[in-house]
Structures are given as structure tokens and as C-alpha cells.
Amino acid sequence: MTLPKLILLDAVGTLFGVKGSVGAVYANLARQHGVMTDPIALDAAFRQSFKQAPPMAFPGANPTEVPLKEYRWWYEIARSTFKRMGVAAQFEDFDGFFSELYEHFATADPWQVYPDTRASLESWRAKGITLGVLSNFDSRIYRVLDALALADYFDSVTISTEVGAAKPDSLMFIAALEKHDCELADAWHVGDSYEQDYQGAIAAGLKGVWLKRLA
């Protein structure tokens, strides 16, 4: 198999993931604010709220407005998650709770780097392959990559909130490629979502690689 010149990798679910579950992280912090919830049910509620949210992309937004839009996007998901559980009103200060929650996910604490991640990145780098991150994440990705000691592996980071479009939109892949001297045929995209990563890459003209991690 001919090696690519560029490999673009998804972030969450591909390079690293949440320790345990989002529900467990939410429940732990909620408990510190006096709100008791079941982590399993909370995780299911989060998945429902996340699935129903619009794409995390803000086309036409002024770059200076993006961080606040990202914050509000996640605020609505968190609020909806706890409303589904029927406990949102139990928070004395939900805004304060969410501020802490949002900052928590910008640190290394809730994340785990998958065992194969660093070995794969080092192997590709040793072969002279350029690496980039291509993710439907928000601008906290830069802090998370630094905190997890992954940032130095990558020559570029492309995220949906900066592009104004989210995978599987071809604009995401085009935006990432424009940062590199690389033709479509010489680039791969690796990700854990069949629709967003694999099919999105193929539709954009790249080779798609679906990484199906076991739960």
C-alpha cells in the first residue's frame, strides 16, 4: 500500500476519549454542587441532547465571537441533559456549575489517550508522514492536546468552529488540506465516525479510514 503524504486524524474517539463516560464526569461534578444523579442515566441523557444539537459550526461568525458561541453551544447541551434527568432546578447556581464543567474538559483530567495513539503517531512521523488534527471540536482542543502531550505530533489543527462547517461537510477537509502542500489523492483521514470521518473523507476526495474502537 502506498503511504500517504498527509494523515488527518479526528480527535475525540480516535486519539483520546473520556475516562469512563461523559455521564460519570457530569455526575461527579454535579455531586460536588449538591445534585445527585445516576451516571448511566445521565450519560444516556447527554447522548440524546448531543445528538439533537445542531452542528458545532458558526458560519459567518466573527472569530472573536466564536469562543462565546462555543460556550453557549455546550451550555445548552448540559442544560438539556440535566433537564432530561429532571434535576436542573436543583442547582443553586447552574451557570457556576457549568463554568466549572466547561473548564474541566479543557484539562487532561477527564481524558485518556488510547494505548495505541502515541505509537501510531511516532511510527507515521518516522516514515516522514505529516500529521494534522481534523475535528468537530471547539477551541479548547489546543489546550487539551497540550495537556495530553500530543500537540507536538501535529503540524496543523483544523476545527469546525473555526472553519464554519462541520464534518462530514467537504469544506472541513478542504480547509485542512489548504494548510499543507498535499493533493487529495495523497491524504488520508482517520476517524471513529463512519458517517463524519469515513464517508465524509471519501466524499471530499480523500482516502477514509474508519477506526472502530471497541467500547
Strand 111-113 versus strand 16-18 pairing type: antiparallel
The amino acid that residue 121 corresponds to is: L
What nine digits make up the cell of 11? 480527535
CATH number, domain 6-17+111-210: 3.40.50.1000
- Distance (Å, rounded) from C-alpha 66 to C-alpha 144? 18
Query: What's the angle, vertex CA 163, arms to CA 157 and CA 164, rounded to 5?
Result: 145
pTM comes to: 0.93
C-beta separation of 130 from 182 below 8 A: yes
Sketch the domain layout of the chain as residue ranges.
6-17+111-210, 20-104
Residue 159 β-bridge partners: 135
- Distance (Å, rounded) from C-alpha 6 to C-alpha 215? 28
Tens of pLDDT, residues 105-155:
999 999 999 999 999 999 999 999 999 999 999 999 999 999 999 999 999
Q: Is 128 left (phi over 0), alpha (psi -120 to 50) or beta?
A: left
> Would you tell me which CATH number, out of the four given (1.20.1250.20, 3.20.20.70, 1.10.150.720, 3.20.20.370), belongs to the domain 20-104?
1.10.150.720
Tens of pLDDT, residues 174-214:
999 999 989 999 999 999 999 999 999 999 999 999 999 87
